Amino acid sequence: MTQLTPKTAAKETPRERRLRVQKIVRILDRTYPDSKLALNFTTPLELLIALILAAQCTDERVNQVTATLFSKYRRAEDWARIPRATLEAEIRTTGFYRNKAKAIQECCDALIERFQGSVPNRLEDLVSLPGVGRKTANIVLGNAFGQPAIGVDTHVGRLAQRLGLTTQTNPDKIEFDLNPIVPDPLKIRFCHLLQAHGRAVCLARKPDCPACSINQLCPFPVHSAKAAPAKRK
C-alpha cells in the first residue's frame, strides 16, 4: 500500500475519501474489536448525565462517580429534586461541580417540563436542552438510540484532522465534514474506533506513528517523520 501524503489526501474526491474511511474502519475494527463508548450507562438519561459530568474530566472518574449516583437517582424528577448543595458534593470530584450541578438540574427541569421527563430522540430537541450541544446530542442519539450520528469529542476531532478528513477545528464543522464521508451504518462504530485509537496510539502530544495500524492511510506520519529529530545512539 502506498503511503498517503498531505498532497494526495488534499486531492481526494469525496468517493475516494469515503472508501478510505471504510478501509480505516475495517483495520481499526480488527485492532480494537471490543471498543465501545467508555462511559457506563443503561438509559438515555444516564448517558446524558454522564456526558455533562464528563466535561473536563476523565471517563474513568465519571464512571466511579455515576456508579453510586445511578443507583440513587433514576428519573429526571429525582435529579431535579436533589438539593443543589447535595448534588454538588456528590459530583465534586468531577471538577467544575457547581456548573455541572446547575446544568444537570436545569436540563432535567426542561425534560420534565417539555418531554414528560424522557430524553428526546431528535437532534433538534436535544440541542434545545440547557447545556446540551451537538456533540452531546449526537453521542446520545448514536449510543442510546442507535441512530447514525457522529459525536465529535476530543479524540474524534484530533484523529479526523490528522487523517486528513477535515481541516476544521470547530467540533460542529468537523461533524459536518465527516457526515458525508462516513456511511450511516458505520458512524457510531467509526467514533468508537477513533476514540480507542486516540487513547492507545494516536495520542495528543506524542502519537506512536510507527505502531499505528492505519499509518499508510494517514498523511500525518509524513509530518511527524520530518519533524521528529533523529535519535542518537
Can you say which residues are annotated as belonging to the binding site for [4Fe-4S] cluster? Answer: 202, 209, 212, 218
The residues near 215 (Cβ < 8 Å, ≥ 6 apart) are 3, 209, 221
- Count other C-beta atoms under 10 Å from residue 233's C-beta: 3
Bind-site residues: 202, 209, 212, 218
Long-range (24+ apart) CB contacts under 8 A made by 17-23 are 17/165, 17/181, 18/180, 18/181, 18/182, 18/183, 20/217, 21/165, 21/181, 21/182, 21/183, 21/186, 21/190, 22/183, 22/186, 23/217
Cα 69 from Cα 73, distance rounded (Å)? 6
CA nearest neighbour of 199 among 149, 158, 138? 158
Q: Which one from 153, 173, 184, 226 is the annotated catalytic residue? A: 153
Known catalytic residue at 11: no
Known catalytic residue at 36: no
Q: Which one from 7, 72, 109, 135 is the annotated catalytic residue? A: 135
Q: Which residues are catalytic?
A: 135, 153
